[in-house]
Amino acid sequence: NVVGGTIQYKASTDNGNTWSDWTTVKPSRTNAGTTLVKAYVKGDANHSDSEEVSGTIKVNKAAGKVTLSDTGASVPYGTTSAAFTATRLGDGELSVTDDNATAEASISNGTVTISNIGSLAQGTKVVVTVSAAAGTNYNAASATYTLTINAKSIANFTVNAIADQTY
Q: How many CA atoms lie within 13 A of 73 on its CB side?
A: 15
Give burial (CB, 10 Å; 0-12/13-18/19+) of 64: buried
> Nearest Cα to 2, choosing from 34, 43, 58?
43
Q: In this structure, is the dihedral angle defined by the CA atoms of residues 116, 118, 119 and 121, taken in order, positive or negative?
A: positive
* Res 167: pLDDT: 79
Q: Three-state SS for 95?
A: strand
* pLDDT value at 70 more than 80: yes
Q: What is the pLDDT of residue 166?
A: 81
Would you state the pLDDT for residue 53? 97
Buried/exposed code over 110-145 (b: 16+ C-beta within 10 A; e: otherwise): eebebebbeebeeebebebebbbbbbebbbbbbbeb
Per-residue pLDDT tens digits for 87-142? 999 999 999 999 999 999 999 999 999 999 999 999 999 999 999 999 999 999 99
Q: State the burial class of residue 70 (Cβ atoms within 10 Å of its Cβ: 0-12, 13-18, 19+).
A: exposed
- What is the predicted pLDDT for the residue at 155? 78
pLDDT value of residue 161: 82
pLDDT for the residue numbered 57: 96
pLDDT tens, residue by residue, 10-40: 999 999 999 999 999 999 999 999 999 999 9
Task: Give pLDDT, residue 153.
Answer: 86
Average pLDDT, the chain: 95
Residue 150 has a pLDDT of 96
Q: Which of 15, 113, 117, 106 lies closest to 58 in space, CA to CA?
A: 15
pLDDT for 1 beyond 80: no
DSSP string of 122-139, one letter each residue: TT-EEEEEEEE---SSB-
> Residue 77: helix, strand or coil by DSSP?
coil
User: CA 128, CA 144: separation in Å to the nearest integer?
Assistant: 6
